[in-house]
């Protein structure tokens, strides 16, 4: 047993290759569970939207399209810096990779700050789950805001997790544990971040752009 | 060695050790994709302002799907991955589509 282990260790390159593909398949499988998690919420959204079409329309008018659009651009740009950060690691350009990763994390934080102000404004107007003011509205509007807080909240939680993940990846990059020959951690973090971006790509038109 | 690489690109790597191959995508490609995504964001806001009735939802979903495709194929490297990765995604999407489809099949005829 030990000889086999030693054999693997000496031909570390081959071991790395098989790990590399396995790690990525694992990440994709995890992303599919995320897809189904949000997919379920999108399903609830679409059924209630079909049932309360006009209420959804009325409620959605109150959302700030500009803030939503700005957040869309912020997330799209963060995906760009993330993808470039991985490319930089693959090229062996560690400093650039670190810079781009920090930028990605900052974009993530900027997204959350915007979200804070957006939710804050809604709270000030008395629109939050369980509030008296929201309770007096039509059923469909209550459902719209329930789904809005649930879905953007769960998405926001994913952004927070992403930023925390980036700080770990950053540490690995600084300590040179992620480098040109071993970059699956940063690549998988990127895959996660891009999925979070894709979910927002669907959330934005479905909540902010109902005419 | 050449043969190996050909096999690796074809996706049938088997159990043989394969050279650690990956495509480094140029920054320029990513920048182009980003421009495409930003333009599509503008288009989806613009289309939402035009009253098209039920086609507004359809347009929004089509544009969002196009944007998701750009992210998947370029940012998430799906275009450059082996067959395994490209086969996995449809499995997940068909599962999700079945769940949504069957629910609406029930909901629409109540």
Name the residue facing B20 among A17, A77, A206 (closest C-beta). Answer: A17
- How many angstroms away from the CA of B3 is the closest CA of chain A? 17
ipTM value for the complex: 0.88
The alpha-carbon gap from A108 to the nearest alpha carbon of chain B, in Å, equals: 16
Q: Which fold has domain A34-208?
A: 1.20.120
Q: Phi/psi of residue A70, each to 5°?
A: -60, -45
pLDDT tier for residue B20 given thresholds of 50, 70 and 90: low
B64 is a domain residue: yes
Cα gap A19→A181, rounded to integer Å: 12
Task: Name the residue in chain B with its Cα closest to that of A43.
Answer: B100
- Using CA atoms, how far apart are residues A5 and A51, in angstroms rounded to an integer? 61
Mean pLDDT (whole number) for A49-60: 94
B71 and B84 both lie in a single domain = no
- Report the distance separating Cα B59 and Cα A128, nearest Å: 30
Q: Which long-range contacts (CB under 8 A, 24 or more apart) does B50-53 make?
A: B51/A211
* Cβ-based contacts of A76 with chain B (< 8 Å): 34, 37-38, 41
What tokens does A58 get?
A: 């009325």
- Predicted confidence (pLDDT) per residue in B57-91, tens digit: 999 999 999 999 999 999 999 999 989 999 999 99
Give the closest-approach CA distance of B106 to chain A in angstroms: 11
Instruction: Say if residue B27 is in the same domain as residue B70.
Output: yes
- For residues B18 and B8, the answer to whether their CB atoms sit within 8 Å is yes
Mean predicted confidence (pLDDT) in A158-183: 96
B63 and B85, same domain (yes or no): no
Q: How many domains does chain B divide into?
A: 2
B6 lies in some domain? no
A25 vs B contacts (CB less than 8 Å): 84-85, 88
DSSP A54-116: HHHHHHHTTS-HHHHHHHHHHHHHHHHHHHHHHHHHHTT-HHHHHHHHHHHHHHHHHHHHHHH
User: Residue B53 CB: number of other CB atoms within 10 A?
Assistant: 8
- From the candidates B64, B81, B85, B104, which should be mutated to test the interface with A, based on the most A CB atoms within 10 A? B64
- Specify whether B63 is located in the same domain as B34: yes
Are B22 and A17 inside 8 Å of each other by CB? no
DSSP assignment of A108-144: HHHHHHHHHHHHHHHHHTT-STT-HHHHTS-HHHHHH
Quote the CA–CA distance of B44 and B54 in Å, as a whole number. 15
Residue A204: closest C-alpha in chain B: B64
Same domain, yes or no: B68 and B85: no
Other C-beta atoms closer than 10 Å to the C-beta of B9 total 13
Q: What is the domain extent for residue B48? A: 23-76
**pLDDT tens for residues A63-119?**
999 999 999 999 999 999 999 999 999 999 999 999 999 999 999 999 999 999 999
Q: Are residues B68 and B52 in the same domain?
A: yes
Q: How far apart are alpha carbons A199 and A85 in whole angstroms?
A: 21
Q: DSSP state, B50?
A: S
* Percent residues over pLDDT 70 in chain B: 81
Q: What is the mean pLDDT of residues A112-139?
A: 93
Same domain, yes or no, for B54 and B95?
A: no
Q: Report CB contact under 8 Å: B96, A39.
A: yes
Q: What is the pLDDT of residue B21?
A: 64
How confident is the model over A162-173, as pLDDT tens digits?
A: 999 999 999 999
Radius of gyration of chain B, Cα coordinates, nearest whole angstrom = 20
Put simply, the answer to whether B71 touches A194 (Cβ < 8 Å) is yes
pLDDT band at B3 (very low <50, low <70, confident <90, very high): very low
Tell me the average pLDDT across A185-205.
97
Residues 54 through 83 of chain B touching chain A, CB cutoff 8 Å:
56, 60-61, 63-64, 67-68, 71-72, 74-76, 82
What are the tens digits of pLDDT across the range B91-100?
999 999 999 9
Tell me which residue in A18, A76, A211 faces B49 most closely, judged by beta carbons. A211
Q: Say whether both B109 and B66 belong to one domain.
A: no
Q: How confident is residue B53, by pLDDT bands cut at 50, 70 and 90?
A: confident
pLDDT band at A45 (very low <50, low <70, confident <90, very high): very high
pLDDT at residue number B5: 36
């Amino acid at each position: 047993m030990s000889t086999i282990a030693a054999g693997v260790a000496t031909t570390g390159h081959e071991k790395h290759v098989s790990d590399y593909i396995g790690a990525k398949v694992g990440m994709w499988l995890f992303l599919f569970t995320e897809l189904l998690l949000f997919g379920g919420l999108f399903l609830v959204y679409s059924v209630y939207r079909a049932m309360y079409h006009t209420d959804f329309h009325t409620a959605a008018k109150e959302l700030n399209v500009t803030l939503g659009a700005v957040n869309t651009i912020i997330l799209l740009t963060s995906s760009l810096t993330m993808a470039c950060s991985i490319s930089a690691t693959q090229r062996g350009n560690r400093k650039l990779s670190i810079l781009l990763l920090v930028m990605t994390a900052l974009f993530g934080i900027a997204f959350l700050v915007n979200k804070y102000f957006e939710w804050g404004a809604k709270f000030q107007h008395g629109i939050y789950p369980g509030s008296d003011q929201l309770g007096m509205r039509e059923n469909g509007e209550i459902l719209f805001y329930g789904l809005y807080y649930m879905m953007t909240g769960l998405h926001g939680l994913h952004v927070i997790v992403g930023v925390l993940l980036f700080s770990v990846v950053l540490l690995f990059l600084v300590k040179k544990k992620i480098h040109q020959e071993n970059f699956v951690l940063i690549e998988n973090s990127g895959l996660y971040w891009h999925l979070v971006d894709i979910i927002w790509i669907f959330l934005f038109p479905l909540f902010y752009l109902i005419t | 060695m050449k043969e190996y690489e050909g096999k690796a690109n074809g996706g049938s790597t088997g159990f043989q050790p394969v050279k650690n191959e990956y495509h480094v995508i140029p920054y320029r490609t990513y920048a182009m994709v980003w421009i495409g995504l930003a333009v599509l964001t503008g288009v989806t806001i613009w289309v939402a302002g035009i009253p098209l009735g039920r086609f507004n939802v359809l347009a929004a979903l089509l544009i969002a799907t196009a944007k998701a495709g750009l992210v998947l194929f370029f940012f998430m490297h799906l275009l450059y991955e082996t067959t395994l990765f490209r086969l996995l995604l449809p499995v997940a999407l068909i599962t999700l589509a079945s769940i949504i489809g069957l629910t609406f099949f029930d909901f629409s005829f109540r």
